[in-house]
Structure 1
Amino acid sequence: MGKRVVVLGAGFGGLELASTLAEEFAGDLEVVLIDRTEGFVFGYSKLDVMFGRTTAEQVLHRYADLAKPGVTFVHAEVTAIDARTKQVETTAGAFAGDYLVIALGADYEIGRTPGLAEVGHEFYSEAGAFALRDTIAGFDGGDVVIGITAGPFKCPPAPSETALLLDALLRERGIRDSSTISLVMPFPRPIPPSRDASTALLAAFVERGIAWHPETNVRSLDAEARVARLGDGSELPFDLYLGVPVHRVPAVVEASGLTVDGWVPVDPATLETPWPGVFAVGDCAAVGTPRAGVFAERQAATAARRIAARVRGDADGPTYDGRGVCYIEFGGDEVGMVEVSFFEGRPNGSMHGPSLDLAADKHEFGASRVRRWFDREWAPVD
């Protein structure tokens, strides 16, 4: 067919889009997949490494292993994007396509929170979470603050999961009684779209003595006093601070003039930007759903099928439904599952579990994606 799709970013969105197009065209459509990293890591795998349940090497899925028909992986940094011509500049040269998909995710601004870089630890980047493995292993008790600096942020359940997993680990090590855990979040509930999930989490916090500070955020960390200063004027002492940094669209996307109010605008039903033939999916896009991998994956599948329809000259493809499923770690190997819908009236979500059976479901969720994207079997824990 002689058409080319250039995909920027190989996270949930980029991998699913490339895999869908490879299935649709069996090599008759050229897909160029560009990413600056050497491999993919599930967001929840960062917590597995952080809490010593597995290793960084075990959770890394290398892009060099990709072998999809028609898909070429380019290991490079994107340095400029021209949405009008669908051309991009990278450290490996220039690429142009008939269609362009921006799936570059979100970056972090550590410096936006005074004191975070000096006396705190962020656990949202792979490097930050992996480095915390040794820090948490060496922690001998004290005050822990898990703080969100601002919204929106990726994977909304992750801070609550961190609090519960830390509680379980400290109990296992016999130092929970000499420790406090506080969770600071700028929402009225831990999972705003799901009252059931929020109720279950709040009950778990009460049961395990985790202090919940809703509707405020962490403004700064005082290195000398060792306190976190909150937006409501209060302070929390800390011996260990685990922070969710301010999120932002990648600088190259902003510099290319693709953003409105900080994110890439798209039609929520089609994922197409104001530039014809240019789509954006995942964390960098203003879709109206949470910034989480499961939503990026479903958006990418929609965008891929709409691109496929245009390549074939068919009528427009399916529309995005705003649905997603998230797993929540409760500690003690129990996992809950939330099914959420965002485009059918008011956002709402139903909760299942927590249970050991859902832990097995979560395992299969990851294994099935690795099977689909990398054509191999994978166990998240070695």
Structure 2
Amino acid sequence: MKSRVLILGAGFGGMELATLLSRSLGDDADVIIIDQRDSFVFGYSRIDVMFGKTTLDAVRLPYASFAKPGIRLVKETITAIDAEAKRVTTNRGTYEADFLVIALGADYDMAATPGLSEHGNEFYSDAGADRLRDIMPDFSGGPVIVGICGFPYKCPPGPSECALTLHHYLTERGIRDACDITFVSPLSSPMPASAEMANELVNTFEEYGIRLLRQKTVVRLEPGLAVLDDGTELPFGLFLGVPKHQPPQVVIDSGLTEDGWVTIDLPTLETRFADVYAIGDMAATGLPKSGTFAESAAQSVSSSILAKLAGGDVQRNTGQGTCIVEFGDGRVSYAELDFLTGPKLEAVFHPPSVAGKTFKNGFDETRRTRWFNA
């Protein structure tokens, strides 16, 4: 008898989990994925969109191209989650499952930073990056702030990539000397998981004349002025922000969150409800909120579900992932991270290089092929 697996969210974690279950169970799989979007976008593509290197339409991967045995992907809006009953209500109906996996990612709380919507810009959403694609060519000079408005946030290297790419963008336009770039971060390091990558970023910031303000958070924007949590006021002509993150409201309303995020058992990703798992950005793992860590979580959950269905070993969450950083000049650096398989964090750093760009392209192509047969 089939057991239904219900996956909420078709991001890195959801797509990988569905793919793994389909490969193991084939037509015997009974998996439904629910997502309100009609396409997938790699988060790192938004940097290219905002600086005019590509368009949003060009980087979208339609979910209509996702076809796997035993998998059904539906475009619906989730309105309620009953974790105890493993029941989900959408704008079109109700679904019940034997296994429920919540992989809805993190949303952006723009209202948490007063003035951000009115006086600044965010580049972490598809819409925000697309809007900046039209705004950037009209910017002619003045102070620019790349500012983080809360922690934790997705893709720890993302703001650094923005600052570095901005430097090259302004240089190519011949207006870099007319612009000051300040990067405001709540962290003590631009890449805490890899000291070598952090040093490379700090040295590059210094080389490019990018001012780094550490352990500070943007808490309010006024017209042309960013206010930090220590009271510092920074003038700006252009503000590029990372909004405060939170789980989707429907997840908060479900009662699954504690201290802002969904509580899980880190080795298994299981919530306090049996056979209900949470993977990806909204789960309180303490690990970087990044697609590859959602993938490794999906591998653990897949093994757990398969073991309960047919026996076999359960793979504990490895906490493994890769953080990739664009330096904006054709070079890419990346760090391979392993948080949980050994007694301490292991980080293998690959300095910025053109070969790193080849690695990133391969990362992209592998997932396009694996998920979308593209």
TM-score range with shorter-chain normalisation?
Answer: over 0.9
**1:374 matched to which residue of 2?**
372
What letter is aligned with 2:291? G
CA–CA separation in structure 1 for the residues paired with 2:27 and 2:181:
52
From 232, 254, 257, the counterpart of 2:255: 257
Segments of structure 1 that go 5 or more residues without pairing to the other structure are 377-382
CA–CA separation in structure 1 for the residues paired with 2:299 and 2:90:
25
Equivalent pair of 2:299/2:315 in contact (CA under 8 Å): no
**2:156 matched to which residue of 1?**
156
**1:247 matched to which residue of 2?**
245
Equivalent pair of 1:339/1:351 in contact (CA under 8 Å): yes
Matches within 5 A, 1:344-363: 344-363=342-361
Equivalent pair of 2:197/2:351 in contact (CA under 8 Å): no
**1:334 matched to which residue of 2?**
331
Segments of structure 2 that go 5 or more residues without pairing to the other structure are none
Q: What number of residue pairs does the alignment pair up?
A: 373
TM-score w.r.t. the length of structure 1 is 0.96
SS of the counterpart of 1:182?
Answer: strand
What letter is aligned with 1:322? G
Once the two structures are superposed, what CA deviation does each residue of 1:76-101 show, in whole Å capped at 9, x if it has no partner?
Answer: 11111111111100012111111000
User: Does 2:143 align with 1:143?
Assistant: yes
SS of the counterpart of 1:331?
Answer: coil
CA–CA separation in structure 1 for the residues paired with 2:149 and 2:183:
12
Matches within 5 A, 1:123-138: 123-138=123-138
SS of the counterpart of 2:147?
Answer: strand
**1:272 matched to which residue of 2?**
270
CA–CA separation in structure 2 for the residues paired with 1:179 and 1:351:
31
Q: How much does 1:345 deviate? A: 3.9
Equivalent pair of 1:102/1:280 in contact (CA under 8 Å): yes
CA–CA separation in structure 2 for the residues paired with 1:29 and 1:248:
32
**1:33 matched to which residue of 2?**
33
**1:229 matched to which residue of 2?**
227
**1:285 matched to which residue of 2?**
283
CA–CA separation in structure 1 for the residues paired with 2:138 and 2:306:
51
Q: How much does 1:346 deviate? A: 4.3
Q: How much does 1:51 deviate? A: 1.2
Q: How much does 1:113 deviate? A: 0.6
CA–CA separation in structure 2 for the residues paired with 1:129 and 1:84:
38
**1:380 matched to which residue of 2?**
none
Q: Hey, which bits of structure 1, 4+ residues long, moved more than 4 A?
A: none
Q: Pairwise CA RMSD of aligned residues? A: 1.0
**1:46 matched to which residue of 2?**
46
Equivalent pair of 1:324/1:341 in contact (CA under 8 Å): yes
CA–CA separation in structure 2 for the residues paired with 1:300 and 1:51:
32
**1:379 matched to which residue of 2?**
none
CA–CA separation in structure 1 for the residues paired with 2:90 and 2:215:
41
CA–CA separation in structure 1 for the residues paired with 2:16 and 2:92:
23
CA–CA separation in structure 1 for the residues paired with 2:301 and 2:266:
11
CA–CA separation in structure 2 for the residues paired with 1:348 and 1:111:
37
What letter is aligned with 1:239? G
